[in-house]
Amino acid sequence: MAISKMKKLFLATLRQDEERLMAALSWAGCVEITPCGEAFAGFAPESRQKGIAEVSVQQKKLGDALLILDGVLPPDRGLFKRKERLAQALFDSPDKTVAEALTLADGVAAVAAQKEALLLKTAALRREIEGLAPWCVCEESADRMFTRRTELLLGTLPAACPLFRLTAALNGTSPETQDGANKPSDKFSQAKSGEDDNAPAAAPLAAEVLPLFCDKAKQYLMICVLREDRDECLSRLTPLGFVRADPLPADFSFPEGVPHSFSAAKDTLAAQLATAEAEAKACLDDLKGRANDRKILRQAADFLSTKFLRLKAADRLGGSEHTLFLTGWVPEKALGRLEKTLAPFDCAWETEDPAPADDVPVLLSNKKIFTPFESVVEMYSLPAYGSFDPTPIMSVFYFFIFGLMLGDVVYGLILSLACFVALKKLDLGRGARNLISLFGVCGISCMISGVIFSGYLGNLPGQIASSAAGSNFAMPGIDLLTQDGIFIFIFLSLGMGVLQILTAMGIKFYMLCRKGEVFAAVFDVGSWYVIFLGGALSVLLSGVGQTIGIAVLILGLAMKITTAGRAKKGIFGKITGGLLGLYDIVGYLSDLVSYMRIMALGLASAVIAYVVNILATLMISPGFSVGTLIGWILLPVILLAGHVINLALNLLGCFVHDGRLQYIEFFGRFFEDGGRPFAPLMPEANYHVIEREEESD
Amino acid sequence: MKKKVILILSLVLALVVLAALPSFAAAEEETASLTLWDFFYNGTTLSLIGAFFAVALSGIGSAKGVGIAGQTAAGVVAEDPSLGGKFIALEALPATQGIYGFVAGFLVMIKNGVIAGNADLSVADGMYYLFACLPIGVVGLISAIHQGKVAAAGMQMVAKQKDQFGKAITYAAVVETYAILALLISALLIFLH
């Protein structure tokens, strides 16, 4: 139980061994390499920086290719899918796989780029076809819209502009004079009418307007004019909103043997579109057929991420052209493993104890039964190096409080079984493993308190017995939902609080003594013990015992008042400080009351289970009209849904509030946080589980 | 918020006054016939109004608190989907007040005999249950909303500092203390009667 003792490691070896050494250390997984400091940092080979840059470029390339493939291939990863195994030896000679994967990645990127280009092309073709569609009525030769004297103008006019305005403009008359009293009332002509009144009448142009097509926004027109009138015609029509159109795409040319009409052009484009779409589909199919490539890419990606970490670690090494110098941290208990790892190398190494000023990393190492609870501590903060690891003591409290909050045999059984199966069947990281084992262990506690408080899916056995047979059967144990039951539960909750607070004070006492501050330990913490002891005696006992209790209480109070203000200056400061020290009693009381949440959560889970049972057994009660058979079918459905929801809700509540009790009420009294987690050089694999030749603990 | 609380409390006061009226009426004319008045102002109904306050007020608070936290969660997870799972825990924290209210309401139903089917309470007993339900109702309403705000702020903290999840949870859980104290008093009052 404790924070692992760390040793400072100094190691000198030959530079030619660098790669081998990094590989060996990463498999050993017990050395955190630190920057070796000014004194030894004389030599930094350029090739290493280049290597790091190269590997990250390769990683990026593989990552991009994997992203593309993951987009088209069916997903084959997930919580419930086992990862593939990959032998350790492969990680040390990855070059061949990596080279192959890089080629494959290039191929994937090329096909994907081609696919993108084709998709862009199809989109452009679709737009062109759409633009061409209104002109298909025009049967003229699309690329020869003129004769010697005349020219055909294609163009569009806003749909709101009536055609007669167009013809009027061409004839050089204003529409009002043409239409006489029948003045058009649409806003388009009103807006224009002001100018027209002042404009002098122009000479009529010889022009023919042929409307081709009309949609909601535009009218598509063909206007036949004399060549010399063309510019004049356009200058008269542009104010009306006429825009010349060139329906054929810029780079379009008619294939041979095809009539040069707009509809033929449209058909040609449609054929091109079909080809492009087919090609894009072929690219997609090509990508979809690369499931095997993805496997190789993933292997290479895992090799590279391990290589990258090794290079990064090697970057912290010092030395000269031919020698290598390494500084780092190694847990004392891993020294044996380190020795074995380093045996094949020509190297000199030594360890020493950390100096007080060193930034020592923190690794918690506890007995196996307590390791799941380390995650609870880590979620708060690691303890500072040299302080106290509360994991084992906290585990005991966490375990029992969790059970009290969710006291039910069946819930506990489900929890433990589910977690056990998950641990066996899923590939989980260290954090997830710890958390799941935590729930699994706490499931046992739920079962224990379930037996005490007769929780078997709430009161299900009794409820079924009374609904189906009308009997008064009840499982043995204390019924929580009675006056007696609730008081026992409150007593247990507060008792847990008293125990834990006293334990926290004890740890504080121990830590102060270890630091040599015995005086502070006795007067700051010990005096509270005396006060509590005296208080308890005087309340619980009678007669002589009570008198002794009161005496002890007074002694404790006196200790507190006389010493709590000892750091203050002046007699006045010391007295007020002493009295203020007593004020902490409020803190103890509020912390104690906080433990009532155990009762609140326990009650909540029991009551909801009770409600679910009432609803479910309503189905089989004789007074209910569903019928016996259907009732017995509905019963498990309601039970399942209700209890799953209850379990999920209360698991969250227990996890949060049990943790909170530890963090605030327990840790708050003694915990020194701010430990830096130990980060040894380790192999890293995202897609695979590494099959180790020799398991490290 | 203050207005709402005042509104709720005055509603309760009005009920008390109204419930006291029949006893004056009964003193004047001693008829035993059951009127519509008796139908509404009897012990069982009053205790059920208490259960209503416990469940409804704390339920409103939880809905609002979870809503606040959920909106923030959606915003943050849009930026970083990997936080989705963690945030469900933070989002669900303000949901407990609703459960506490439900527990109190249900305890009333056990004690006043509605579940057992022999509900027959005096007006004084009903009034007792009504008041016993108020702590968790009112405190649940307000604490759930504030817990939702703290949970939302915690999510923004975790978005920037991923390893601070434990603290974010703890900050939000501290707010709940007062809902737990209120439930404690409500539950004790109901049980002790």
In angstroms, the CA A215 to CA A213 distance is 7
Task: Decide if B183 and A600 are in contact by the 8 Å CB cutoff.
Answer: yes
The stretch A125-141 carries a mean pLDDT of 83
Q: What is the pLDDT of residue B19?
A: 64
Domain ranges of chain A: 2-104+288-359, 143-180+199-246, 391-669
State the DSSP string of A373-423.
HHHHHHHH-PBPTTS---HHHHHHHHHHHHHHHT--HHHHHHHHHHHHHHH
Poorest-pLDDT segment among A410-419, A519-528, A621-630, B148-157 = A621-630
Residues in A closer than 8 angstroms to B110, CB to CB, are 481
Residues in B closer than 8 angstroms to A604, CB to CB, are 96, 99-100, 102-103
Report the residue of chain B nearest A655, measured CA to CA: B89
Q: Per 3-state DSSP, what percentage of chain A is helix, strand, and coil (rounded to 5)?
A: 65, 10, 25
**Interface of chain B toward chain A, CB-CB under 8 angstroms:** 89, 92-93, 95-96, 99-100, 102-103, 106-107, 110, 115, 165-167, 169-170, 173-174, 176-177, 180-181, 183-184, 187-188, 191-192
Task: Decide if B89 and A652 are in contact by the 8 Å CB cutoff.
Answer: yes
Poorest-pLDDT segment among A379-383, A440-444, B48-52 = A379-383
Q: What is the pLDDT of residue A185?
A: 47
pLDDT digit string (tens) for A330-340? 999 889 989 98
The stretch B13-25 carries a mean pLDDT of 65
Whether A163 and chain B come into contact, CB under 8 Å, resolves to: no
Whether A404 and chain B come into contact, CB under 8 Å, resolves to: no
Poorest-pLDDT segment among A59-73, A202-216, A528-542 = A202-216
The stretch B128-140 carries a mean pLDDT of 95
Compare A119 and A619 and report the one with higher pLDDT. A119
If you average pLDDT over every residue of chain B, what do you get? 85
Positive/negative CA dihedral, A336, A340, A343, A348: negative
A425 CA: distance to closest CA in chain B (Å):
21
The stretch A113-127 carries a mean pLDDT of 92
pTM score of the predicted model: 0.78
pLDDT digit string (tens) for A9-68? 988 888 888 888 888 898 888 899 888 776 666 566 667 788 889 999 999 999 999 999
Residues of chain A above pLDDT 90, percent: 25
Whether A624 and chain B come into contact, CB under 8 Å, resolves to: no
Residues of chain A above pLDDT 70, percent: 93
Nearest CB partner across the interface for B92, out of A381, A600, A652: A652
Nearest CB partner across the interface for A657, out of B100, B173, B187: B173
Residues in A closer than 8 angstroms to B174, CB to CB, are 660, 664
Flag whether pLDDT at A683 surpasses 50. yes
If you average pLDDT over every residue of chain A, what do you get? 85
* Tokens coding A27: 């498999």
Task: Decide if A600 and B180 are in contact by the 8 Å CB cutoff.
Answer: yes
Look up residue A665 and give its DSSP letter.
Answer: I
Q: What is the pLDDT of residue B23?
A: 59
The CATH code belonging to domain A143-180+199-246 is 3.30.70.2750
| Cβ–Cβ pairs < 8 A, chains A and B | 75
Flag whether pLDDT at A195 surpasses 50. no
Q: What is the pLDDT of residue A406?
A: 93
pLDDT-derived band at A182, boundaries 50, 70, 90: very low
Domains in chain B, number: 1
- The angle at the Cα of B127, spanning B123 to B130, to the nearest 5 degrees, equals 140
Task: Decide if B169 and A660 are in contact by the 8 Å CB cutoff.
Answer: yes
A354 CA: distance to closest CA in chain B (Å):
27
Report the residue of chain B nearest A659, measured CA to CA: B170
Look up residue A663 and give its DSSP letter.
Answer: I
Q: What is the CATH number of the domain that holds B131?
A: 1.20.120.610
The stretch A312-331 carries a mean pLDDT of 85
pLDDT digit string (tens) for A242-297? 888 887 777 777 877 777 888 888 888 899 999 999 999 999 999 888 888 888 99
The stretch A374-391 carries a mean pLDDT of 88
| ipTM of model | 0.73
- Domain span at residue B62? 2-192
The stretch A498-512 carries a mean pLDDT of 93
Task: Decide if B177 and A594 are in contact by the 8 Å CB cutoff.
Answer: yes
Flag whether pLDDT at A71 surpasses 70. yes
Contact call for residues A404 and A598 (beta carbons, < 8 A) = yes
pLDDT digit string (tens) for B20-70? 665 555 555 555 566 677 777 788 889 999 999 999 999 999 999 999 999
Whether A649 and chain B come into contact, CB under 8 Å, resolves to: yes
Task: Decide if B166 and A380 are in contact by the 8 Å CB cutoff.
Answer: yes
pLDDT-derived band at A398, boundaries 50, 70, 90: very high
B40 CA: distance to closest CA in chain A (Å):
26
Exposed/middle/buried for residue A470 (C-beta within 10 Å: 0-12, 13-18, 19+): exposed
